[in-house]
Structure 1
Amino acid sequence: MKLQSSLKPRLAALAVASVLVLASVQPAHALFGVGDIVLDPSNLVQNTLTAVRTLEQINNQVQQLQNEAQMLSNQAHNLASLDFNVVNRLRASLARSEQLIAEAQGLAYDVQNLDSEFARLYPDEYAATVSGDQMYRDARERWGHTLDGLHTAMRMQAQVSRNLSEDESALTDLVGQSQSATGALQAMQATNQLLALQAKQSIQAQQLQLTQDRAASLELARQAAASERAREVRRRFLGEGTPYTPQSIQFYGN
Structure 2
Amino acid sequence: MKTSFYRRTALAGLIAITMLSAGAVITPASAQIGGIVHDPRNYAQNILTAARTLEQINNQIKQLQNQATSLVNEARNLQSLPVSTLQELQGQVDRTRELLGEAQRIAFDVGDIQKTFEARYKGASLSGPQAALVVNAEARWNDSVGAFQDAMKVQAGVVVNMGAARQSIGTLVTSSQSATGALQAAQAGNQLLALQSQQLGDLAAAIAAQGRAEMLDAARAAAAEAEGRERFRRFRKGN
Tell me the TM-score normalised to structure 2 length: 0.81
Does the 8 Å contact 2:101/2:107 carry over to 1? no
Q: From the superposition, tell whether residues 58 and 45 of structure 1 become closer, same or farther in structure 2 (CA, over 3 Å).
A: same
For each residue in 1:49-106, what CA deviation from the matched residue of structure 2 results, as whole angstroms up to 9, or x when unmatched? Answer: 2222111111110111111112222222233221001111111011111101101112
Q: Is the 8 A contact 1:125 1:228 kept in 2?
A: no
Structure 2 residue runs without a partner (length 5+): 1-25
Secondary structure of 1:83's match? coil
Task: Give the 5 Å matches for 1:1-254.
Answer: 24-26=27-29, 32-35=31-34, 37-123=36-122, 126=125, 128=127, 130-239=128-237
How far off is 1:168 after superposition? 1.4
CA contact (8 A) 1:105 1:145 kept: yes
SS at match of 1:25: coil
1:23-74 Cα shifts (integer Å, max 9, x gaps):
7530xxxx55444544544443333322221111111101111111122222
Measured in 2, the distance between the counterparts of 1:148 and 1:124 equals: 21
Consecutive unaligned residues in structure 1, runs of 5 or more: 1-22, 245-254
Worse-superposed segment, 95-104 or 178-187: 178-187
Partners of 2:162 and 2:89 in 1: CA distance: 11
Give the 3-state SS of the residue equivalent to 1:104 in structure 2: coil
Poorly superposed stretches of 4+, deviation over 6 Å: none
In 2, Cα distance between the equivalents of 1:123 and 1:74?
Answer: 68
Give 1:79's aligned amino acid. Answer: L
> Which amino acid is 2:86 matched to?
V
Deviation for aligned residue 1:184: 2.2
Computed over aligned residues only, the root mean square deviation of the Cα atoms, in angstroms, reads: 2.2
In 2: Cα distance, 1:75 partner to 1:87 partner: 26
Q: How many pairs does the alignment contain?
A: 214
Deviation at 1:153, TM superposition (A): 0.7
- Amino acid paired to 2:177: Q
Shift of 1:114: 1.3
* Percent identical residues: 41
In the superposition, the TM-score normalised over structure 1's length comes to: 0.76
Letter in 2 for 1:87: L
- Contact 2:126-2:227 at 8 Å conserved across structures: no
Shift of 1:117: 1.5
Counterpart-to-counterpart distance in 1, 2:122 and 2:178 = 62
